[in-house]
Amino acid sequence: TGLVTVDPGFMNTASCDSEITYIDGDAGILRYRGYPIEQLAEKSSFLEVAYLLIHGELPTQAEGDAFMERVNRHTLVHEDFRTFMGTFPRNGHPMAVMSSAVNALSTFYPESLDPFDPQTVELATVLILAKTRTITSYLHRSAVGEPLLYPDYSRGYVEDFLRMTFAVPYQQYEPDPTTVAVLDQLLILHADHEQNCSTSTVRMVGSSHANLYASVAAGINALSGPLHGGANEAVLKMLTEIKADGGDASAFMTRVKNKDQGVRLMGFGHRVYKNYDPRAAIVKKSAHAVLEKLGKPDPLLDIAMNLEEIALNDDYFTERKLYPNVDFYTGLIYKALGFSDQMFTPLFALGRMPGWIAQWREMMTDPTTKIGRPRQIYTGAVERNYLPVESR
- Chain residues in the site for ligand CMC (CB under 6 A): 9, 196, 227-229, 231, 256, 264-271, 320, 322, 325-327
Considering the complex, state which of residue 121 and residue 239 has its C-beta at the smaller distance from ligand CMC. 239
Q: Contact, 213 vs 382, CB < 8 A?
A: no
CA 196/CA 286 separation, integer angstroms: 24
Q: Contact, 125 vs 357, CB < 8 A?
A: yes
Considering the complex, state which of residue 138 and residue 273 has its C-beta at the smaller distance from ligand CMC. 273
CA 49/CA 244 separation, integer angstroms: 40
- Which residue of the chain is nearest ligand CMC when measured via CB? 269
Which residues lie closer than 8 Å to 297 by C-beta, 6 or more apart? 291
Q: To the nearest whole angstrom, how small is the minimum distance from the Cβ of residue 144 to ligand CMC?
A: 26
Catalytic residue selected from 184, 270, 277, 341: 270
Catalytic residue selected from 160, 184, 277, 327: 327
Considering the complex, state which of residue 193 and residue 361 has its C-beta at the smaller distance from ligand CMC. 193
Our answer to whether residue 55 is catalytic in this structure is no
Q: To the nearest whole angstrom, how small is the minimum distance from the Cβ of residue 345 to ligand CMC?
A: 9
Q: To the nearest whole angstrom, how small is the minimum distance from the Cβ of residue 189 to ligand CMC?
A: 10
* DSSP-H helix ranges across 74-208: 79-85, 94-108, 118-144, 157-166, 177-190, 197-206
Q: To the nearest whole angstrom, how small is the minimum distance from the Cβ of residue 7 to ligand CMC?
A: 12
The strand ranges marked E within 85-199 are none
Considering the complex, state which of residue 226 and residue 372 has its C-beta at the smaller distance from ligand CMC. 226
**Total residue count of the chain as it appears in this document:** 392
Considering the complex, state which of residue 132 and residue 198 has its C-beta at the smaller distance from ligand CMC. 198
Q: To the nearest whole angstrom, how small is the minimum distance from the Cβ of residue 327 to ligand CMC?
A: 5
Does an H or E element contain 328, and which? Answer: helix 327-337
Our answer to whether residue 270 is catalytic in this structure is yes
Q: Contact, 268 vs 323, CB < 8 A?
A: yes
Orientation angle between helical segments 344-364 and 94-108, nearest 10 degrees: 40
Question: What one-letter code names the amino acid at 297?
Answer: P
Instruction: Give the residue numbers marked as catalytic.
Output: 270, 327
